[in-house]
Amino acid sequence: MLALRTASIDPDAQGRRLAQARIAGNLADVDLSSVMTLEDAEDVSDATVRALGWAQIGYALVGTHPAVARTLRLGGPVVGPLLREAILDDGGTLRLPRGALGASVGLTFMIGRSFPFTDEEATTARNALGACAACRLDLHIVGRRTALPTVLDERAATADLGLEVAHVAGPWIDGWMSADIAAGEASLAIDGNVVARGHGRDVMGDPLNAVAWLARHLADRGSGLNGGDLVSVGSCCGLAQVLPGQILTARLGGLGPISLRLC
């Protein structure tokens, strides 16, 4: 099917402004309410990545947890680029940018082979498990690069890099395939006090369902997941508002802690 795009959109100009805001940590003078289709939104996001000159190493999902979708007024999951330059070491420091919406805890999977491998392979959680080579804990920050439109939707969120800001990478998990990651309890603490709890199953019933959903989403666009891609599946415990000066600590099941200091 031929994708329709809005003639009035200038993805490169919007992408340059969003990239400048991403680097400076401030808000751009860009009104994303002019983005009328998801195809337009993806064009703006792609243009932003080009303007940044950063390396996309996978995908990050937002809105896979129902509470996060409600908070951000998203009708479903949003896909953003997972950028190498946005991945931080455990115990690192982040200057919290303007437009930050909150922090949460989730999982990141490394894809081990093309998924779907053939047109006939079903994009199910079971097949996603077979396609994933590794899994790790993920502490992430989401936020905006522009204040317009005032009320978010999937198009504006997609155009704005999928609301991605930063990820703290935990260690790869030994024996994760035999663990019940859906039952694992996730928690986010701020300055030692737990402020959000949830479970792996709060991500679309099973975190691997999110990987399968993304594979279908990409296949519908003539693409797919490839070996080496990383997939951050979104929040297991909802979003918590954060402020400069705080220390965030993430756990999931017996994993963690991993931490991030905000300044």
What is the pTM (predicted TM-score) of this model? 0.95
In degrees, rounded to 5, the angle at the alpha carbon of residue 232 between the alpha carbons of residues 33 and 81 is 45
19-55: per-residue pLDDT in tens?
Answer: 999 999 999 999 999 999 999 999 999 999 999 999 9
| CATH class of segment(s) 56-262 | alpha beta
Q: What is the rounded distance in angstroms from the CA atom of residue 90 to the CA atom of residue 87?
A: 10
Q: End-to-end distance of the chain based on CA atoms, in angstroms?
A: 47
Residues of the chain with pLDDT under 70: 1-7
Q: What is the DSSP letter of 126?
A: H
Residue ranges per structural domain of the chain: 56-262
Among 126, 162, 113, smallest CA distance to 142 is for 162
- Residue 9's pLDDT is 83
pLDDT exceeding 90 applies to what percent of the chain? 93
Among 62, 60, 141, smallest CA distance to 104 is for 141
Sheet holding 164-172: strands in order across? 78-83, 56-62, 230-232, 100-111, 132-143, 164-172, 87-88
